[in-house]
């Protein structure tokens, strides 16, 4: 059975694909380095399928591979996909902040079914890969995640409790006073460097996401994107800090595919 509809989210690092086959939705992803080979294969195997494109390389895919494809806006597609998956998980909510953690991070407001980008940062998965390689020598995503899971951020970071020691701090002592502030004090393990980096990425994303949530009077922050996939340490830090500021963190299974799914559902 060949897919009748295909949605492709062509981002900076990954190609994410959602496709419908016999009434079921399936997902697949490829590294951007595999773009030409994967899209040529798809063009041959699903020649008669309807194709929807979104993401930064959507125009390129349309020109080179799928001339009849429709292109849908990236943030709208992610909002549609996220809303669909939230309903599937029984978490239906028309109003939420959507934080899309891909190569960088885009923060969107989803209100009454309409989505708009309200903030963003160059801090994201690309930061994890690039800075992670500089700090640890590792270039594989799963290896960096594994290192972070075995390390302690506070061994590399100066914490609020360190600043005020031996007295009690006026705010939560487990908050970071300075990312990587202890590096100057001596040898820090690769594991602790990876944990510190993951913590810094989480803090930045949560700070921007919660600022948007407070400004727009929203309680739920939905975190999606390929950087979260199988990334327990990042999810842990994001959950911790979001709850700390009184907002509700929501993680969607298959959240990495919201853009591709939303594009497919828009056909």
Q: Going by C-beta distance under 8 Å and a sequence separation of 6 or more, which residues neighbour residue 139?
A: 129, 133
**First-to-last C-alpha distance (Å) of the chain:** 20
Task: Please tell me the total number of residues recorded for the chain in this structure.
Answer: 267
Edge to edge, the sheet with strand 24-31 lists: 24-31, 14-21, 5-10, 50-54, 70-71
- CB-neighbour burial class of residue 198 (10 A; exposed 0-12, middle 13-18, buried 19+): buried
In angstroms, the CA 112 to CA 23 distance is 28
The whole-angstrom separation of Cα 4 and Cα 20 is 6
CA distance 248 to 209: 11
Peptide bond before residue 23 is cis, with ω within 30 degrees of 0: no
**Sequence-distant (≥ 6) Cβ neighbours of residue 142 within 8 angstroms:** 230
User: Which residues are known to be catalytic?
Assistant: 74
Strand order in the sheet with 96-101: 114-121, 105-111, 96-101, 220-224, 248-251
């Amino acid at each position: 059975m060949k897919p009748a509809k295909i949605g492709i989210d062509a981002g900076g690092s990954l190609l994410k694909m959602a496709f419908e086959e016999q009434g079921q939705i399936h997902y697949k992803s490829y590294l951007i380095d595999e773009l030409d080979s994967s899209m040529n294969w798809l063009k041959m195997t699903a020649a008669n399928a309807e194709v929807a494109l979104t993401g930064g390389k959507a125009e390129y895919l349309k020109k080179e591979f799928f001339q009849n494809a429709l292109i849908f806006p990236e943030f709208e597609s992610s909002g549609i996909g996220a809303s669909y998956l939230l309903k599937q998980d029984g978490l239906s909510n028309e109003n939420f902040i959507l934080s899309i953690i891909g190569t960088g991070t885009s923060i969107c407001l989803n209100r009454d079914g309409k989505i708009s980008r309200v903030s963003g940062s160059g801090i994201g998965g690309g930061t994890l890969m690039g800075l992670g390689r500089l700090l640890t020598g590792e270039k594989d995503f799963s290896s960096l995640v594994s290192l972070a899971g075995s390390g302690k951020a506070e061994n590399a970071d100066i914490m609020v409790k360190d600043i005020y020691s031996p007295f009690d701090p006026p705010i939560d002592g487990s908050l970071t006073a300075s990312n990587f502030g202890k590096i100057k004090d001596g040898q820090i393990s690769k594991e602790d460097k990876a944990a510190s980096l993951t913590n810094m990425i989480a803090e930045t994303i949560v700070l921007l996401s919660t600022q948007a949530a407070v400004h727009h009077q929203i309680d739920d922050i939905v975190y999606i994107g390929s950087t979260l996939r199988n990334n327990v340490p990042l999810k842990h830090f994001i959950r911790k800090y979001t709850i700390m500021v009184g907002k509700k963190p929501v993680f969607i299974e298959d959240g990495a595919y919201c853009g591709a799914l939303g594009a497919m559902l828009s056909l």
